[in-house]
Amino acid sequence: MVNRVVLNNQIHRDVRIAAMRPTRENAEVNTVSVIPREFPRLLAHYPIFFTKNTETGRFETAALMGFQPQENLFFVDGQWDAAYVPLQIQRQPFSLITRRAEDSGEKPPSLDVALDMSQTVQSHEGQRLFLEDGQPTKFLQDITSMLSALVAGAKETYAFTGRLAELSLIEPVQIDIEFVNGSETKLQGLYWIAAATLKALPAAQLAELRDREFLEWMYFQMASVAHVSALVARKNRLLSGATAARP
């Protein structure tokens, strides 16, 4: 069970965090929510698709890691098997949560940094969160800015996908895969750029997408689809008994 607690410089003054490494609880997922600012680095390893948020139905961007609900082919023997780890994984066990008192307020709610106490993160060794005088350490400052980047990135994502949906530039894609052992799977709930619509897009809209950086993000998404076959190859290596290749 996740047990998120808002950080407090009194209560958590002496807490130390061991090196932040993806844990099974966080890493065993087949899609990881990502933000457009990560696309250039994600493009080295992962296929990126659009998915729908199950609570809001709005489009988000996600990196595909596996073919079954809890299959992450990039998480092998407790290790992350790629040079770049998506921010959504990196930030664990920290998160931002909305301050309750202002939940109903009109202005943007303020956010607190929270720590998931259920994970084995506290240790005698490792990084402190607060200095003796209660000020955040450099380590915590870095965490905070990573979390802020994710919040800002989520906003950018919705602006990006919202506009693409308006212009009918997102379409569903179903990918049928046959693995080396003959088993088959259909990837559903994934969306990508509607290439034909993009080709026919009027110049004014194309310029708008370019000016808002959306156009390059779109091309990153399109290019990343090539990694699906690498992902299939990872799965095939597992199925045929070979150890997954290490970079």
Give the bridge partners for 184, in sequence order: 178
Window of 47-55, 76-84, 94-102, 141-149 that interacts with other proteins by CB under 8 A: 47-55
Give the bridge partners for 128, in sequence order: 16
Q: Is residue 56 near other proteins by the rule CB under 8 A?
A: yes
Q: Is residue 106 near other proteins by the rule CB under 8 A?
A: no
CA-nearest of 189, 159, 191, 175 to 232 is: 175
Q: Which is nearer to other proteins, 118 or 168 (CB)?
A: 168
Beta strands in the chain (DSSP E): 4-6, 16-17, 31-34, 48-52, 59-64, 75-76, 79-80, 94-98, 111-116, 127-128, 170-178, 184-193
Classified as helix, coil or strand, 84 is coil
Q: Is residue 58 near other proteins by the rule CB under 8 A?
A: yes
Q: Is residue 229 near other proteins by the rule CB under 8 A?
A: no
C-alpha distance from residue 235 to each of 89, 160, 184, 229, 239 (Å): 21, 32, 12, 10, 6
Q: Is residue 192 near other proteins by the rule CB under 8 A?
A: no
The count of residues interacting with other proteins (CB under 8 A) is 15
- Distance of closest approach, residue 13 Cβ to other proteins, in angstroms: 40
Q: Which is nearer to other proteins, 14 or 166 (CB)?
A: 166
- Distance of closest approach, residue 171 Cβ to other proteins, in angstroms: 6
Residue pair 27/75 in contact by the 8 Å Cβ criterion: yes
Residue pair 218/206 in contact by the 8 Å Cβ criterion: no
Q: Is residue 67 near other proteins by the rule CB under 8 A?
A: no
Q: Is residue 172 near other proteins by the rule CB under 8 A?
A: yes
Residue 199 CA, chain-centre distance (Å), reads: 29
Residue pair 212/167 in contact by the 8 Å Cβ criterion: no
- Distance of closest approach, residue 188 Cβ to other proteins, in angstroms: 11
The pair of three-digit structure tokens given for residue 100, joined into one six-digit string: 């309750």
What does the per-residue mask of binding to other proteins show for 126-165, with x meaning CB under 8 A?
Answer: ---------------------------------------x
Give the bridge partners for 33, in sequence order: 62
The pair of three-digit structure tokens given for residue 151, joined into one six-digit string: 């919040």
Q: Is residue 188 near other proteins by the rule CB under 8 A?
A: no
- Distance of closest approach, residue 198 Cβ to other proteins, in angstroms: 15
Q: Which is nearer to other proteins, 156 or 216 (CB)?
A: 156
Q: Which is nearer to other proteins, 27 or 194 (CB)?
A: 194
Residues that bind other proteins (CB under 8 A): 52-59, 165, 168, 170-172, 189, 191
